[in-house]
Amino acid sequence: MKIIVIGKSGQLAWELSQLSTKENEILCLGRNEINIVSKHAILTTLKKHQTDVIINASAYTAVDQAESDKDNAYNINTTAVQNLAEACQELSLHLVHISTDFVFDGQKGSPYLPNDNIDPLGVYGASKAKGEQAITNIIPNNSCIIRTSWVYSTHGNNFVKTMLKLMASKPELGIISDQIGSPTYAKYLAKVCISAAINKVIGIHHWTDAGVASWYDFAVAIQELAIEKGLLEKPIVIKPIRTQEYPTPAERPSYSVLDKTSCSEAFPELPLIHWRTQLNNMMDNL
Ligand SMILES: NC(=O)c1ccc[n+]([C@@H]2O[C@H](COP(=O)([O-])OP(=O)(O)OC[C@H]3O[C@@H](n4cnc5c(N)ncnc54)[C@H](OP(=O)(O)O)[C@@H]3O)[C@@H](O)[C@H]2O)c1
């Protein structure tokens, strides 16, 4: 089987590229190889490759920048996704697409189910929500949307790597303790995407690592494990702070834990693993 991944240098795209095997060849197409803003270009490129499944790992992911760069965010997260869905419809391809916890407003107070109402707070979430809607309108029976959250990898920029840098250079950090979610190691998320592609899973599913955390909890765990592994020499002071003490251009959901119940049926071979275990695995791979 040949699986085409849209995206190449991103965290998830890179983890997907590492899973290529003889049986399941994975070909990642970066922005220089496919212009996802043009449906014509997508069709021309996809026709060159013998495949029947696409994983879209590309997105405009700069959450704060999206607030002042609305057109680009919508181009990549909505228009390009609609183009991909239309191309998949025309070529009879199955589409696996990745979305986000930021489609929710964070007010529910208990884990979000895949069919809960969406109500994004910012441009990034709204543009991703519109992308989801395009897929479910165009190819509801030939698509799988996997919503995830707080993604990190050894590759690319993310919270874990930023924390390690800051912890090595600052005496003290204030980290937000009133936003609750679930971290997700992209290496395992990539396996979920491959399973969705191979088995042509359909519908909306939620996937994150198991357990919940605040950004503060996550930072404390990063420091503990980094010291244990010799990645940091000594601990620094980490203080819990409230969201209003760290204003950002984009508002974020205060609670965005995703209910993953549907995954035990959709991906029975991939059990949920606690985020702290996954963080430990990622740090071993750093
Ligand atoms: N990061 C998170 O915390 C998080 C949380 C929830 C959901 N998600 C979702 O998970 C998925 C993967 O995220 P990620 O963390 O791997 O993202 P990432 O590291 O920011 O990578 C973004 C990817 O999108 C591609 N891309 C960006 N702009 C493009 C453009 N103009 N034209 C073509 N390609 C473009 C990049 O292409 P190149 O390879 O060519 O550079 C790259 O492969 C996304 O759908 C994201 O919305 C992420």
Please write the tens of the pLDDT for every residue from 170-193.
999 999 999 999 999 999 999 999
Counts of helices then strands in the chain (DSSP H, E): 10, 12
The answer, yes or no, to whether any atom of ligand 1 lies below 6 A from the CB of 12, is yes
Beta strands in 169-253 (DSSP E): 172-176, 180-181, 184-185, 203-206, 213-214, 237-241
Q: Do 274 and 210 touch, CB atoms closer than 8 A?
A: yes
The answer, yes or no, to whether any atom of ligand 1 lies below 6 A from the CB of 31, is yes
Q: Which atom of ligand 1 is nearest to the CA of 159?
A: 3
User: What is the structure's pLDDT at 264?
Assistant: 87
User: What is the structure's pLDDT at 225?
Assistant: 98
Beta strands in 117-259 (DSSP E): 143-148, 151-152, 172-176, 180-181, 184-185, 203-206, 213-214, 237-241
Contacts of 265 (CB under 8 A, 6+ apart): none
Strand (E) or helix (H) holding 27: strand 25-29
Report the residue among 31, 34, 37, 128 best suited for mutation to probe ligand 1: largest number of ligand atoms under 8 A from its CB. 31
Residues that are catalytic: 124
- Report d(CA 68, CA 71) in Å as an integer: 9
Contacts of 66 (CB under 8 A, 6+ apart): 60, 72, 73, 122, 123, 124, 127, 250
Residues 2-38: tens digit of each pLDDT:
999 999 999 999 999 999 999 999 999 999 999 999 9
Q: What is the largest CA-CA distance in the chain?
A: 57
pLDDT at 50 exceeding the cut of 90: no
Show the CA angle centred on residue 85, arms to residues 46 and 61, nearest 5°: 95
For residue 283, which of 230, 246, 233 has the smallest C-alpha distance?
Answer: 230
Taking all residues of the chain, what is their mean pLDDT, rounded to a whole number? 97
